[in-house]
Chain A
Amino acid sequence: MTDPTTRPGVGKPRTGDSPAGTSAEDPAGQPGDGPAGHRERSIGRLGDRKRARLDELARATADPGGVSLYRDALRRLRRNPVAIVGAVIVGLFVLVAIFAPLIAPHDPVQRFDELTRDLTVDSIPGATAGHPFGSDPLGRDFFSRMIHGSRQTLFVGVLATLIGLTLGVLLGAVAGAFGGWVDVVLMRLTDVMLALPSLLLAITLVAMASRSSQWTVIFAVAIVSVPIFARLLRGSMLAQRESDHVLAARALGVKERNIVLRHMLPNSLTAVIVQATLTFAVAILDAAALSFLGLGDPDINRAEWGLMLGVDGQRYFEVRPELAYYPALAIIVVALGFTLLGEAMREAIDPKNRR
Chain B
Amino acid sequence: MLRVIVRRLLQLVVTLIALSALIFIWLRNLPGGPVEALLGERATPERRALLIKALGYDQPILVQYGKFMQRVLTGDLGNSIRSGDPVTDVIARAFPATIELAAAAMIIAVGLGVPLGYLAARYRGRLLDNLTIAGTLLGISIPIFFLGYLLKDVLTQDIHWFPPSGRISTGMDNTTVTGFYVLDGLLTRELDASADALWHLILPAITLATIPLAVIVRITRASVLDVLNEDYVRTAEAKGLRHRTIRGRHILRNALLPVVTTIGLQTGALLSGAVLTEKVYNWGGLGTLITDSISGGRDYPVLQAIILLAALVFVLVNLLVDLSYAFIDPRVRVR
The answer on A and B forming one complex is yes
Interface residues of chain A, those whose CB is within 8 Å of chain B, are 188-189, 191-192, 195-200, 203-204, 206-208, 210, 281, 285, 288-289, 292-295, 306, 309-310, 313-314, 317, 321, 324, 328, 331-332, 335-336, 339-340
Given contacts A197-B272, A294-B295, 5 further A-B contacts (CB under 8 A): A192-B18, A197-B269, A293-B295, A313-B146, A332-B143
Contact (Cβ within 8 A) A196 B314: yes
A-B contacts, CB under 8 A, total: 112
User: In chain B, residues 110-156, which have Cβ atoms closer than 8 Å to a Cβ of chain A?
Assistant: 137-138, 140-143, 145-146, 149, 153
Known: A197-B272, A198-B268. Contact between A328 and B141, CB under 8 A? no
Contact (Cβ within 8 A) A335 B276: no
Grouping DSSP codes into helix (H, G, I), strand (E, B) and loop, the A interface class, with mixed when no group exceeds half, is helix
Give the chain A neighbours of B254 by CB distance below 8 A. none
Of B142, B145, B271, which contacts A292 at CB under 8 A? B145
Rounded to whole angstroms, the CA-CA distance of A287 and B179 in the bound complex is: 33
How many residues on chain B are close to A (CB under 8 Å)? Answer: 44
Rounded to whole Å, the gap between the CB of B304 and the closest CB of chain A is 9
Sample of 27 A–B contacts (CB below 8 Å): A188-B15, A189-B18, A191-B11, A192-B22, A195-B314, A196-B310, A197-B271, A200-B290, A200-B307, A200-B310, A203-B275, A206-B294, A207-B294, A207-B303, A285-B143, A288-B143, A289-B276, A293-B275, A293-B294, A293-B295, A295-B295, A317-B149, A328-B142, A332-B143, A335-B141, A336-B137, A339-B140
Contact (Cβ within 8 A) B271 A332: no
Which of the candidate stretches B24-32, B54-62, B200-208 sits at the interface with the other chain? Answer: B24-32
B167 within 8 A of A: no
Contact (Cβ within 8 A) A295 B14: no
Of A196, A281, A306, A310, which contacts B311 at CB under 8 A? A196
Contact (Cβ within 8 A) B15 A192: yes
Counting chain A CB atoms within 10 Å of each CB, which of B30, B143, B291 scores highest? B143
Contact (Cβ within 8 A) B138 A197: no
Contact (Cβ within 8 A) A336 B138: yes
Rounded to whole angstroms, the CA-CA distance of A188 and B14 in the bound complex is: 8
Rounded to whole Å, the gap between the CB of B165 and the closest CB of chain A is 13
Known: A281-B141, A324-B146, A339-B141. Contact between A208 and B276, CB under 8 A? no
Give the chain B neighbours of A314 by CB distance below 8 A. 145, 149
Counting chain A CB atoms within 10 Å of each CB, which of B14, B142, B146, B310 scores highest? B146
Contact (Cβ within 8 A) B142 A208: no
Contact (Cβ within 8 A) B14 A208: no
Contact (Cβ within 8 A) B303 A328: no
Contact (Cβ within 8 A) A208 B291: no
Rounded to whole Å, the gap between the CB of B266 and the closest CB of chain A is 10
Contact (Cβ within 8 A) A317 B153: yes
Contact (Cβ within 8 A) A195 B295: no
B19 within 8 A of A: yes
Give the chain A neighbours of B271 by CB distance below 8 A. 197, 200
Give the chain B neighbours of A310 by CB distance below 8 A. 145
Rounded to whole Å, the gap between the CB of A82 and the closest CB of chain B is 9
Rounded to whole angstroms, the CA-CA distance of A188 and B310 in the bound complex is: 18
B273 within 8 A of A: yes
Contact (Cβ within 8 A) B291 A289: no
Of B15, B138, B143, B153, which contacts A309 at CB under 8 A? B143
B99 within 8 A of A: no
Give the chain A neighbours of B32 by CB distance below 8 A. 210
Contact (Cβ within 8 A) B19 A192: yes
B279 within 8 A of A: yes
Rounded to whole angstroms, the CA-CA distance of A191 and B311 in the bound complex is: 11
